[in-house]
Structures are given as C-alpha cells and as structure tokens.
Amino acid sequence: MHPNGYDPERHAEQRAARRQLRRAQLAETRRIRQAVTDMCLLTPARWRAPCRMAALAEARQVAICLMRTRLTWPLPTRNGAFLATRIDRLLGGRDHSTVIRDVAVIAARLSSGRADDAALRHVVDALTATLDATYEAESVLDQRAA
C-alpha cells in the first residue's frame, strides 16, 4: 500500500469488477433488444431509424422500460450531474429526457386498469418471461463450460 492510502491491487480488482458488470449489462441490453425485435416483428435497422410510427415507438418504449427495470444504470437527474445512461445511445441516439419520459409512459400504462393496456401488460410479461428463460439457459451453459 502506498503512503497516501492508494492500493493498486484493490484498484485493479475494482476496475475488473466494473468491466465485468458493464459486459453483463451490455449482454442484457442485447438480449432485451433481440427479444423485443422478435416479438414486435422489427428489423434491427429500425431501432436507429428516426421513424415515429406508433408500433415502432411503442416497441422502443417497452425496450427502454425493460432496460431500465432490469439494469442498474441510473437515470439522469435534473441538474445534469449524472452517470450518462447508455440506453439512449443503444436505441438510436435518443435524448435522455426521452428515456425518462418513455419509462414513465410505460409504467403508467402498465399500472392503469384500462382494457387496451392489457395487451401491453401481456407483451411485457411475455418479454420478461422470455428474458428470464434466456438468462437461465445461458447461466446453465456457462456452468457446464466451466
């Protein structure tokens, strides 16, 4: 340990842990994007398109909401002092305020009792089940490989 309290071994371990977390988060975002792409019958190129078609916008909102709830990335604060979310960049360069709004819109629709939001709840539940099953299957494969 250095006289100023810096421990290079501890610092290296922390960096390795952060790298491992980022890799796991990026893998999860790919799984989410692929699951939403498959369920909504989209092409991967459509994610980055500036299109505002209702079906595409709703698919993006669902993906953003799933990423936000399944990952540990913070959302920005009002004064801008935040760790930048990667969600906005992964889904076509959306502004961080769009990410915040989309999470709020989907959360409100999921908690509402309206009949037309029941289909959205069904889609989100199906996507969550698919993602959980994919994650469990990959964990089993990783354990077998080790």
Does residue 39 sit within a domain?
yes
Q: Is residue 15 part of a domain?
A: yes
104-130 tens-digit pLDDT: 889 899 888 788 788 889 989 999 999
Q: In this structure, is residue 1 part of a structural domain? A: no
Angle value at C-alpha 69, between 78 and 25, nearest 5 degrees: 95
The predicted structure's pLDDT at residue 127: 92
Q: What CATH code is carried by the domain that includes residue 32?
A: 1.10.1750.10
Position 125 in a domain: yes
Q: Could you tell me if 110 and 121 are in contact, meaning their C-beta atoms sit under 8 angstroms apart?
A: yes
Q: What is the pLDDT of residue 114?
A: 84
Please check whether residue 3 lies inside any domain of the structure.
Answer: no
End-to-end CA distance of the chain: 34
The kind and range of the H/E element at 128 are: helix 118-145
Predicted confidence (pLDDT) per residue in 20-62, tens digit: 877 887 888 888 888 998 888 888 777 777 777 888 888 888 9
Counted domains in the chain: 1
pTM summary value: 0.74
Does residue 81 belong to any structural domain of this protein?
yes
Which structural domain range is residue 25 located in? 8-145
Q: What is the pLDDT of residue 75?
A: 52
Alpha helices in the chain (DSSP H): 8-39, 54-70, 87-90, 96-111, 118-145
pLDDT, tens digit, 9 for 90 and up, residues 71-107: 766 555 544 334 335 666 666 666 777 778 888 889 8
Has residue 2 been placed in a domain?
A: no
The helix/strand/coil state of 135 is: helix
Asked, for residue 79, whether it belongs to a domain, the answer is: yes
